[in-house]
């Protein structure tokens, strides 16, 4: 039989979870934080062929005349969590600077390698490497999580981006990226 002491501990735990879920889980939550109003794109297809359709994001960016900040993150990638947590912690300061951008969050996993990842734009679906070559991105040789692309509303790359996000995890450097400093 459960003792009063154990019941109180259990109740206490339940209350903590119920009352403070964002605090405990915020650091673990995956993806771009809601403060950036991301358009989340889940892959279609199985693990052997994960296809991300950029069509709806592109259409919306054109409607709203916004640039695209496309983020590819993996559910099991610690570097991705680190960048997402950086964005979360600095949302108040960075948020206004993201206003001209439509943030697109592609939900992937590390098992989705370059051969398994496909990008669809309109009627054309391309594997990662071909997609990168088609837009002249130097990161075609290797897929690194996380990956960020910057596009204009016509899906023209605005700047060659680095693999990973480690070089823009300070507010100052994130602003460099948004201001296309090269």
Question: What φ, ψ does residue 148 adopt, rounded to 5°?
Answer: -125, 135
29 contact partners, CB below 8 Å, separation of at least 6: 84
Contact between 123 and 58 under an 8 Å Cβ cutoff? The reply is no
**Site for other proteins (CB under 8 A): which residue of 39, 50, 61, 77?**
77
Among residues 39 and 74, whose Cβ is nearest to other proteins? 74
Binding mask 101-130 for other proteins (x = CB under 8 A): ---------x--xx----------------
Contact between 68 and 101 under an 8 Å Cβ cutoff? The reply is yes
Strand partners, 127: 118
Sheet holding 50-53, edge to edge: 50-53, 117-121, 124-127
Interacting stretch for other proteins, rule CB under 8 A, among 17-25, 37-45, 134-142, 150-158? 134-142
Among residues 124 and 156, whose Cβ is nearest to other proteins? 156
Tell me whether the omega of the peptide bond preceding residue 112 falls within 30 degrees of 0, making it cis.
no
Min dist. Cβ of residue 140 to other proteins (A) = 9
Among residues 51 and 173, whose Cβ is nearest to other proteins? 173
> Per rule CB under 8 A, is residue 39 in the interface with other proteins?
no
Q: Is the dihedral of CA 148, 153, 154, 159 positive or negative?
A: negative
> Per rule CB under 8 A, is residue 158 in the interface with other proteins?
no
Residue 107 belongs to what H/E stretch?
strand 101-108
Min dist. Cβ of residue 94 to other proteins (A) = 15
Min dist. Cβ of residue 61 to other proteins (A) = 23
**Site for other proteins (CB under 8 A): which residue of 51, 130, 137, 152?**
137
Among residues 61 and 177, whose Cβ is nearest to other proteins? 177
Give the separation between CA 109 and CA 37, rounded to whole angstroms.
21
Under the rule (CB under 8 A), what is the footprint of other proteins? 74, 77-80, 86, 110, 113-114, 137-139, 141-146, 160-170, 172-173, 176, 181-182
């Amino acid at each position: 039989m459960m003792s009063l002491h154990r019941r109180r501990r259990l109740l206490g735990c339940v209350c903590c979870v119920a009352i403070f879920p964002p605090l405990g889980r915020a650091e673990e939550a995956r993806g771009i934080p809601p403060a950036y109003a991301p358009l989340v794109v889940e892959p279609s297809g199985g693990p052997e062929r994960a296809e991300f359709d950029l069509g709806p994001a592109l259409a919306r960016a054109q409607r709203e005349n916004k640039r695209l900040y496309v983020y590819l993150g993996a559910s099991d990638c610690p570097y991705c969590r680190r960048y997402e947590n950086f964005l979360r912690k600095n949302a108040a300061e960075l948020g206004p600077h993201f206003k001209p951008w439509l943030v697109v969050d592609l939900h992937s996993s590390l098992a989705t390698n370059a051969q398994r990842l496909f990008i669809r734009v309109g009627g054309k679906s391309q594997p990662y490497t071909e997609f990168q070559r088609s837009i002249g991105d130097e990161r075609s040789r290797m897929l690194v999580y996380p990956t960020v692309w910057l596009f204009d509303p016509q899906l023209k790359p605005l700047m060659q981006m680095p693999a990973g996000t480690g070089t823009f995890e300070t507010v100052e450097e994130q602003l460099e990226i948004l201001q296309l400093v090269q």
